[in-house]
Each structure stands twice: as structure tokens, then as C-alpha cells.
Structure 1
Amino acid sequence: MNILFVCSAKAWGGNEKWTAMAMKALSKHHRLFFVGKSSKLLTKFDPQEKAVTLPFRSYFDWYTFNALKRFIAQNQIDVVVSTKKKEYFMCGIIARQLGIKHIIRLGVSRKMNIPIWHKLNYRTLNDGLIVNAGYLKEELNKNPLFNQHPIHAIYNGIPGFYSDSPLPEKQQHAKFIIVSSGRITRQKGYGLLIEAINLLDDELKQQVEVRIIGEGRNKEEFEQQSTSLQLDNKIRFYGFVDTPTLLMKDADMFILLSEREGISNSILEAMTLGIPVLSTDTGGIKEVIKDNQTGFLTERSPVAIAQKLTELIRNQQPIRAVGENAFDLIKAKFAYDVFEQNINELFCRL
């Protein structure tokens, strides 16, 4: 089967990681093609038979629409997988015109408050949705818009991590190392993390080292916030890193404070290293984090986050066991070989 993945992202993040992972998992049995927006990201979506970039200026970009339609027809694509909302409409129209399958990947919950437009995008113009969490499938099924519409819940896998992977050994170090990674936006809660670090007492501040990994539209804003609070010697922004696990493996805690989230790839990656995670209770987080068992949950406020961090830094022994519990959960549900089997079974059914 010829499968085209379309991803109009300008920066690398969880959605893009999922796209690359899905392509790799399907490449053993199918021919893969890719259309994106950023030439800088193009080589990350391997393996593929052919890849091109298009402008994706808007939902109704006529040039991109025609070029994409030609690409699909010329390469005899059987299934189009669109991964961002800018492509859902365009790919759906083309798929209906050419009589091929169109699947959309939905990574987070979205408000369906424009009935005609959302019905068109999320039901009429596709043959099903792939979501990464059971909660999201349940939430969508409650909406009459999705009555009897195929919704497939497939947990993300972690490339290089398998169901028989051993628990990494932890290195000893003087600091309490906190890591956070992902797209650097306000929605991800980096501003809250910086405020919480600032609220720690002076003794704890001396113990803490914070590593923030990733790029995004609000990165400069958070760098300025850190500087204004005189936290430059505590918080470091690393930007995009090819292998973020190298900066994560010796961490004592991973923190992600998203306003909304499916199941974060960054959280899963931290858990594969046995790193305990502190997160807000949003979206599908509870499918991987049971408070004080496989991770820790906090309210989304600087004061609550600072209080939780104070508690954990001063009593570190329990968090190690929590990290090990999380590692066992990830092996059972999110190993790459488990994901590979599940997504191949889905596309065979198509």
C-alpha cells in the first residue's frame, strides 16, 4: 500500500515525533511518502520513497492544494494521513475527489464549537481518526458528531525502547536535576516552572539545576523571564537537541505542566529512563501517571508546583521507586514493538 503522511509543522515537537515514528513502523510492509512545510525537518521523516515541501499558507491555499493533489495522483497514494489541523480540510477534499482513504491524527482534545466546519473536518472528510489516548477516544465518542465514526486509540511508542529493555542505571551527582522538553510555548507551562523555581527557598535553589530542551515561539520570552528573576545560573535553555535523552538520563525529575495534553511523548521518554515525572492532571496524563505510584500530579499554579518540588527534593527516596514503577508501565504499553504491531494491524484493516 502507498501511504502519504502530511505534516505542515514549522518546528519539531510531539506531533512530528509521532509522524516519524509511524512512518518507520509502517515502512516494513508499505511504501511511504511525505509532504511537509519545513525543508529543515524533511530528512527527519525517514524512510520514504519520496518527500517534498509545500507552502501550506492557509486552509485554502490554492497552490498547495493543486501541488498536493498532483503529488498524490502521480504517486498512486492509497491512504493519506494528515497530522495537523491546517491539512485536515485540504487532504480531505483531495481524498474525496480521488476516491482514496483519508485518516487524521489527532493528538489533543479540540473544542468542536463550530458545528458545520468541525463536522466537515473531523467526520465528513475523513475515514477515521487516530488518537493516542483512551480518554480522548471516550471524549470524542460522547459527541454526537462522532456517532459510529471510526476512532482508533493507539498508544505512542518510543523508538529504541522495547518491551524487554532493561532499566538504566542512575548516576550519582550533587545537584537535583530537573528536565523539561517539548515545544516551547505558553501552553506547555514553562513560565509556571520558572515561577515555581523562583519561589523555592534559597537553600533548595542552590541544589537545583533545570534543563529546558526544545524550540518554540515563546522561547525568547521564557529566557527573558528567567533572566529577569536572576535564575540564569539555575535554568538553562538548550534549544533543539537531536538526542534529548543524553541531557535527560541523569535527571532526578522530569516536569511538564501543560494546559492540555494527550499523552506527552516527552513524558514517555522520561519514563523509559526511570525518571519520575511531575505533571498537571490534564488530558490523558492519568493513563500513565497515578499520583504517588507512577508519577506525581500537581495543580497548575506556581505556588502548588513549588510546594510539591520542595516536598520531593527534601524527601527523595520515594521518588526513585515511583520512577521504577513508571518504567514497568511504559514497557507494557508504550514500547516501540507494541506500537509497531498495533499501527500495522490498523493499516492492514484499512
Structure 2
Amino acid sequence: MSEVLINIVSISNLSDKNGVSTFINGFDKLKELFNSNGIIINKVFVPVGSKSSVTENSFSRNSITNFKSRVLKKNRVYKILQFLYFYIFQAIVIAIRVFNFYFLNKSHRNQVFFFNDLFVAFFAIKLLPKNSKTIIIFHSSEDPLRHFFMIFEFLKNTFIENFLRYMLHFVMINVCGIVTLSEGYAQKLQKSFPNKTIKCIYNTSFVNYVKNDFEGSAFRKSDFINIIAIGSLQYCKGFDILISAIGELSLNVRRKFILRIAGEGEERTNLESLIAKYDLYDNVLLLGNIDNVGPLIEQCSFFCLPSREEGLPISLIEALSFYKPIICTPVGSLPEIFSENDCVFINQDVSDIVRVLNSLFENSMQLETLSFNSSKIFNSLFSNQSFVEKYSLFFKQIIK
């Protein structure tokens, strides 16, 4: 078989620090491995003006984010305009670019369009010929629209939700293949679409950092218990629960913990209010967007994921690649990956996180066992080589 060209398509701005942009940029980082498997990462279609990285001063970034946060929470008209521009207009523009690219390169038989969101996929599939090769990845859990309705909650149970459900069903029927981040969801979809090529492929770590040799454990003894959490500052990430839990600790226990959160988003104002409410200025640091989280992860005692909703977050896999202990909510694919002995599962509840933090304060050495577990899980499920091999095989199946 001749080389397969993979055209990655997304509505996400690659300057944003989120899981989707990390995933897309990661394909470029692994380009040589893909090339050795006969896969060419040929083109990335993203919104006009997107860049692979961006630098802003923190004052400007935080001021803009805080303003957006206040407006978005209070003004439905603004949210509707945001929906129409970012999810509909931008999607149509990118779909037209995909259509034009297809016809300019239609002589190449082995090209695949790899969609990373429902909106562009819908409009592009409407435009592309029926024999074009298309696949979509669902980055979220079993309902690909659940995260969307966390942001636009007031659109639920409206004609817009009905239209979005139609879009989702149309895309599922018409794409050649579907990638999920959950074995359970892949099996569920396969029952609904028995003739469709559907595969669960776990993400990998794309972190650009040379790790030390941990020899199976990355546990670090320290006078403090350093927690790292990574992700967009959105309600679904549950950072408010984690900060509140630290605030509820007794002063004697609280002074032992330092939480660093890397990421930016519309929840910053709310999180800053919680930090002020509990007087956690010495305990909780909102770092903003970090280009390279490797050094932060390496220095932490454990990685915490308090999310209300997830698929399979790349930040967690990055922490696993450093063999860090994992404390997380049992969301998305995580119950498939971890047994109760491999990590510490927490409820989306302040009191339960307080219980776990108090336990770690009494016996931090249990983190060493969790670190060994993380090393085994990463090496067996999430290596770069495994990621590239599984995707390469999937792409070639689509072409056949």
C-alpha cells in the first residue's frame, strides 16, 4: 500500500492550551514515527490565525479572561453569538477549506480527513463526495455533546439540542470510522453501527521534556505535599471542588499542601474567589497556561484530576509518563484503566477529597506504591510506539 495522507481537521485554536490542541500538535511531534509506518501527517485545518504556540503577558491574559468570564455567565445573548460564531460560522469556513483541499488533491487516492469535532465534521461531510475517506474522534465520554451543554446549559431541551443530536447521528452514520477513548463506548457504538470501523485508541504523552530515570517509582519525599492539576479552567474540570477541599482542611494539615493548577479559562474568577474565601494564597497557585508542563509534573508529589466530566485527559497520561501517583474522579475511561489499587478514586465531593488529603497527611508513603502502579500502567497502555502503531493500523483499515 502506498503512503496514507492524514489531514487533521479541528475547530480548536491550536494556541489554546487544552486537550484537543495538545492531541493535534502531538501528531506533529510524532511525525517521524508515523512516517516509518507509511503515514504522512499532511495538513492541519484549524481556524484562520491559529498558531502552534502563543505568548501573552499574564496581566493581559487574566484581565481578558476575567472579563469574558463575567460576561459569559450573565449574558445569554453573548453566549448565543459565541455559539453561532465559534461553532457554526467557523465550522462552515473550515469545512469549505477542506472541500477545496480535497478537489485540489483528489488525484491522491489514499487521503483521509480526520475530524476532531462534530461541527466541522457535519458541514464537511455534507460538502465532500460520498466516496471520500473520513473519520472522527470523540474526545469526551459516552455523550459527545455533554461537555458542550455544560458550557451552553440553557440550550438543553431546545430545538438547538434537537438539531445537534441530528448532526451527531448524521456524522456517525456517514463517517468511515470512529475513534473513542473508551472501550465501553466503542463497544456500544459498534452494536449500533455494526458495519462501521470503530476503535478505542488511548492517547499518549506528548510532553516535551527529558525525564529522570525513576527506576519504577517517582515518589519524592518532601517537607510539603505538592499537588499538580492541569487543564482549562472550566466548571467541568472540578478545580473548585479541589480548592474548597484544601480550604476545609485544618490549619495544621493545610500548611503541608501546595496545589499548583496549570491552565486558563473562564472559571478563573470563581477560583480566585475561593482562594480569597479560604485565605489560600500560600497554598493554591493559578499558574495560567504553561507551554511545557514537564518540569512541574516531575516536581510534584501526585497528580490530581477532580473532573466532573472527561474522556481520557492527556494531562493525566503525561503524569503517568512521569510515573506520578494519580488521584482522580472515576470519569470517562479512567475506571477501565485503573483498578481501585492502581490509583485513589475520589468522589466529586469536597468532604471525600478532604478525607483523602487527611489520609495522605497521616501516611504520605502510600504515594510510593501508587507511583510504581503508574509506571506499569503507562508502559503497558500509553507509550508513543503503541499510540502510533494503533493509529497507523486504523488509518490503513479506513483506506482499504
TM-score if structure 2 supplies the norm length? 0.76
TM-score if structure 1 supplies the norm length? 0.86
Task: Answer yes or no: is the 8 Å Cα contact 1:136–1:262 preserved in 2.
Answer: no
Aligned equivalents of 2:29, 2:85: Cα separation in 1:
24
Displacement of 1:90 in angstroms is 1.7
1:95 aligns with 2:128: yes
The letter of the residue matching 2:270 is E
Q: 1:31 to 1:248 in 2, by over 3 A?
A: closer
1:59 aligns with 2:108: no
Aligned equivalents of 2:144, 2:113: Cα separation in 1:
24
Q: Identify the range of structure 1 (329-338 vs 147-156) with the bigger mean alpha-carbon deviation.
A: 147-156
The letter of the residue matching 1:59 is I
When you count helix as a share of all residues, which structure comes out higher? 2
Task: Answer yes or no: is the 8 Å Cα contact 1:130–1:152 preserved in 2.
Answer: yes
Residue in 1 aligned with 2:201? 154
Deviations 1:232-288 (A, max 9, x none): 211001111111121121211211111122222111111222211111111211122
Aligned residues: 333
Aligned with 1:219 (options 231, 254, 268): 268
Task: Answer yes or no: is the 8 Å Cα contact 2:262–2:290 preserved in 1.
Answer: yes
Aligned with 2:167 (options 101, 106, 117): 117
1:36 aligns with 2:46: yes
Q: Identify the range of structure 1 (338-347 vs 105-114) with the bigger mean alpha-carbon deviation.
A: 105-114
Task: Answer yes or no: is the 8 Å Cα contact 1:189–1:259 preserved in 2.
Answer: yes
Task: Answer yes or no: is the 8 Å Cα contact 1:181–1:212 preserved in 2.
Answer: yes
Aligned with 1:73 (options 86, 91, 103): 103
Aligned equivalents of 1:237, 1:38: Cα separation in 2:
29
1:1-350 matches, within 5 Å, as 1-10=4-13, 11-25=16-30, 27-28=34-35, 29=38, 30-37=40-47, 39-42=49-52, 57-59=86-88, 62-76=92-106, 78-96=111-129, 99-108=131-140, 109-110=142-143, 114=162, 116-124=166-174, 126-141=175-190, 144=192, 146-159=193-206, 166-167=213-214, 169-291=218-340, 293-350=341-398
Displacement of 1:56 in angstroms is 6.6
Displacement of 1:171 in angstroms is 4.3
Displacement of 1:60 in angstroms is 5.5
RMSD after superposition: 2.6
Q: Which runs of 5+ in 2 are unaligned?
A: 55-83, 146-160
Aligned equivalents of 1:216, 1:139: Cα separation in 2:
33
Displacement of 1:31 in angstroms is 4.5
Aligned equivalents of 1:70, 1:283: Cα separation in 2:
36
Q: Which runs of 5+ in 1 are unaligned?
A: 45-54
Q: 1:2 to 1:141 in 2, by over 3 A?
A: closer
